[in-house]
Amino acid sequence: MKRSMPRARELGRMALIAASALVILGATGLVGLSVVGRLPWRAHDEPRLVRANVRLAPDLDMLGELSPSAVYVIKTGAGLVLIDSGLAADAAGVREAMSRLGRDWGQIRGIFLTHAHGDHTGGAAWLSRNAGATVYAGAGDADVLRAGGPREAFFSTYHMPGESPHPTPVAVALKGGETIDLGDARMTAIAAPGHTPGSMCYLLERDGKRILFAGDVIMMLKGDDHPRDELGKPLGTYSAYLSPRYRGDARASLATLRRLRALPVPDLVLPGHPRADNQPQDPRLTQGGWEKLLDAGIRDMETLVARYDQEGADFLDGVPKELLPDLYYLGDFHDRAVYAFRVRDRLILIDAPGGPGLIPFLANGLSALGISPTAPAAVLLTATGAAETAGLPELIKTHHVMVVAPGDAIEDLRQSLPPGTDLTRPEEFPTERFLPLKAISLRGRGSPALAYSITWAGKSVLCSGLIPVKISPESTEWLARDLSGSRDHFRDYLASIQSLNGQHPDLWLPATAIHGQNANLHDHEWLRTLEDNLTVLMRLISARR
């Protein structure tokens, strides 16, 4: 299932990025969105999705100046109805936009939430309390909405330090199939789990027209022709690629897309995040366009489900699991991932984090997997800082483990470890006795570092410390801090990333797993990771000038 890019093409792309000093990292926050249309909507009109507050159809408005998600306002015989409620906890943007469109927010009687994410639900509690509106949401999201947590349920992997989730009083938890009478209109709830467990689509039927409010099941109506990753696609299936803590589900997404695919195309398809590039998009799809949109997502989810079925969803999310036969992820100890190979009933560990308590942690992790306590025989250090070595004294005293470390750090390390510690360089490690490995020397984030390329169970496994790192806003901040000392740090980090370019791992086991990332790599994920590191590096270099 894994495709490798030709070596020459890899080198060319990497060299291009390494040579560019002014590459700017694209924003990773939620995409800002909006909708526009003509007024009023007749058969010959051509409503368009762009950025503005507009009337899409008679008695149907889009609050298009809000960010980052769409909010729709429907005037019905039962009062005003909102589809979602924006990000702001006081719904200020919603109220101001409604006023500009001549709508009185005090007349809101119903708020239909498409899913729990904060950019869609932030204002619902305020509006419910102050306008007396009834809040509807999918049953699978109702509990987290009412509880106001956990944070991951509201903001997924997005870095939103200025925002806090809060309880939302869901009055009606919908299971799907319910029909709500809105006087001159009818709203049908369509269960659409996958993006979140309680994701819902809502089908409005009025005056012979069928209008679908798709939430983030359909985030936008046009994606990139060649998206860089899952986030560039029009459907909200990106959450299916994330750790279960973010509540996405590939199998549920696949079932939802197939269910929508079987429906006749609605007259209007109104997504949760219309395109942010201000290129007009037509919400009136043909049947063929509707099927094409959903078919692309169905193919993606079929591939992902097959991968999970074949390999397991091996997320490094704190839950012990066997990644390959006799290769274990035992969870996180003092914020560091702990990996162990079992060789001849002895463990080979990657790093020894955390200090006292590491030995019972190992035993508990193995026990969770139904494996009897197994003594460590060796520790492969990815670096020699406190984070990697704090657990060594306990292991050395109890099990007399061999310690593999960068050659130019061994003498310094010897001074801090118990006398008689068996310290060895990677090239002297008895591979025939334990496991075959190739050590890769790295620098750039403090002490000399190593990554280990290990062939195991027919797979290429790369065990690394803090080089490279999966890029996120948080990890970019950590990297900037570590590289801030001198230009030599930038140079060394650049050389380290380039030295990893020749690797083609099937599994990547980093010291810190960002967002509980999957151990398994597919397509060009590894190359993209190296490119992202170089891009951030160039941005930091540019910022220092």
Q: Do 355 and 272 share a domain, yes or no?
A: no
3 state SS for 222-275: CCCCCCCCHHHCCECHHHHHCCHHHCCCHHHHHHHHHHHHCCCCCCEEEECCCC
CA dist list (Å): 194 to 246, 252, 278, 468:
11, 5, 28, 31
Q: Are 144 and 196 in contact (CB under 8 A)?
A: no
Q: Write down the pLDDT at residue 458.
A: 96
Q: Do 17 and 117 share a domain, yes or no?
A: no
Q: Write down the pLDDT at residue 269.
A: 97
Q: Do 380 and 320 share a domain, yes or no?
A: yes
Q: Write down the pLDDT at residue 543.
A: 85
Quote the CA–CA distance of 404 and 414 in Å, as a whole number.
12
- The radius of gyration of the chain from alpha carbons, rounded to an integer in Å, stands at 26
Q: Which tokens sit at 504?
A: 């083609």
Query: Is 145 within a domain?
Result: yes
Please give the tally of structural domains in the chain.
2
Q: Do 278 and 194 share a domain, yes or no?
A: yes
Query: Is 2 within a domain?
Result: no
Task: Name residue 57's beta-bridge partners.
Answer: 60
Q: Do 20 and 82 share a domain, yes or no?
A: no
407: domain CATH number is: 3.60.15.10
Query: Is 396 within a domain?
Result: yes
Q: Do 280 and 354 share a domain, yes or no?
A: no
Q: Do 335 and 275 share a domain, yes or no?
A: no
For the chain, how many residues are written? 545
CA dist list (Å): 19 to 12, 470, 480, 534:
11, 21, 19, 10
Q: Do 490 and 530 share a domain, yes or no?
A: yes
pLDDT of the chain, 545 residues: tens digit per residue: 333 444 444 555 555 445 443 333 333 332 222 223 333 333 335 676 656 787 889 999 999 777 789 999 999 999 999 999 999 999 999 999 999 999 999 999 999 999 999 999 999 999 999 999 999 999 999 999 999 999 999 999 998 988 999 999 999 999 999 999 999 999 999 999 999 999 999 999 999 999 999 999 999 987 654 444 555 689 999 999 999 999 999 999 999 999 999 999 999 999 998 865 566 778 999 999 999 999 999 999 999 999 999 999 999 999 999 999 999 999 999 999 999 999 999 999 999 999 899 999 999 999 999 999 999 999 999 999 999 999 999 999 999 999 999 999 999 999 999 999 999 999 999 988 899 999 999 999 988 999 999 999 999 999 999 999 999 999 999 999 999 878 899 999 999 999 999 999 999 999 999 999 999 999 899 999 999 999 999 999 888 76
Task: Name residue 73's beta-bridge partners.
Answer: 61, 82
Query: Is 272 within a domain?
Result: yes
Q: Do 280 and 382 share a domain, yes or no?
A: no
Q: Write down the pLDDT at residue 485.
A: 77
Q: Do 75 and 19 share a domain, yes or no?
A: no
Q: Look up tokens 């009025």; give the residue.
A: 206
Query: Is 71 within a domain?
Result: yes
Query: Is 210 within a domain?
Result: yes
Q: Which tokens sit at 443?
A: 């620098």
Q: What are the backbone angles phi and psi of residue 32, rounded to the nearest 5°?
A: -80, 145
CA dist list (Å): 542 to 58, 245, 477, 536:
51, 36, 15, 10
CA 505 to chain CA centroid, Å, is: 21
Query: Is 366 within a domain?
Result: yes
Pure H helices in 328-472:
358-368, 386-389, 392-399, 410-416
Domain that holds residue 517: 7-26+314-544
Q: Are 183 and 78 in contact (CB under 8 A)?
A: yes
